[in-house]
Chains A and B, each alone.
Chain A
């Protein structure tokens, strides 16, 4: 196969352009100068337009609010990342009726059970993007990829102090190029499809519902 590599690159190199590259002007994707409230309002509006639900826990106790919400939904449990600050906070304060289920094994160890859970999955976020109504999720040892994918409900905590105007701003200010995680994910709503007659339907493969819990200045997120 290295033959193929040599041949392909050889052909490309023989034809490589000598003309100067066109200039790129990034102003159009640069920050918009939105205020904090403008960013929150825009993010909410865009995400709600694609069926995202919101809990505003700013200035309150998000664990208590979430507890109430989950109880009302009648979900079988809340799957959470135990080795994260928010996971520890959650476990320490939880007194709700909804059982907490830690994602503390590899996927292979509980794949069948995990896929069958009628539970919610809880994740933190690395902030949000106002322009498109988007959450930024990093995966690592503590926060598995499937936690925001397989459970029918995804609950994401978003610190409103970590909102960016645009994706371009977020990736630059968070220095993504120097430290990409194995899987960086942008989520802008619950799973959806329009493959049948352009009719929107939610929850085709991933979560049917997405709940964003807005928090502010919580030490678990610093």
Chain B
């Protein structure tokens, strides 16, 4: 927090795209970058970046997670805030990097990095105090907060505050919104039946809202929820909040 706040509005930020965004939802990443740029912030995208290491970490392969994490940290060496369009990947960094490197020579450097990590909507609201002007047609949306954004990153109402700024967007509360969608990385294939039951309940709740779009800040959730809606022939379209905000405020690319 200190880095961004001490200097007020930072001039430059790093963007950490995440592996899921890189391969499946690059549009969400690009929209995040453009939102930052349109707020007058210079965005640097270290080219060597790949993944935060969470998949290996969650599987208990800590050495592999550490190696990949360290490879990222080295690429983000300058004193810029690190903005991540995913509560889960940002949460991995914030909550688990310190433990992964505790008592190791890299510890101080890791802690410096961790202190600079922001989830995208957190950064847009808390640091940039972003103001949005809605240019889109009326639409009904619902919001799925990801578990790690809430419980590891401490993202609270920032996404909803952004959505509430959009005059023609009706935000419908998702029943049991705080309950996990059932993704959980390898959980979805290690316990496929339980995961399926969870996502089935989730898309039922989404359908119940009558929303045209289900928005989230995490592409893992969107892949899970969106895949289930598509398979079930549901109505709501899954979309990352960054892409939605960019579309609403700048029209379709």
Do chains A and B make direct contact within the complex (CB under 8 angstroms)?
no
Q: Which residues of A contact B (CB under 8 A)?
A: none
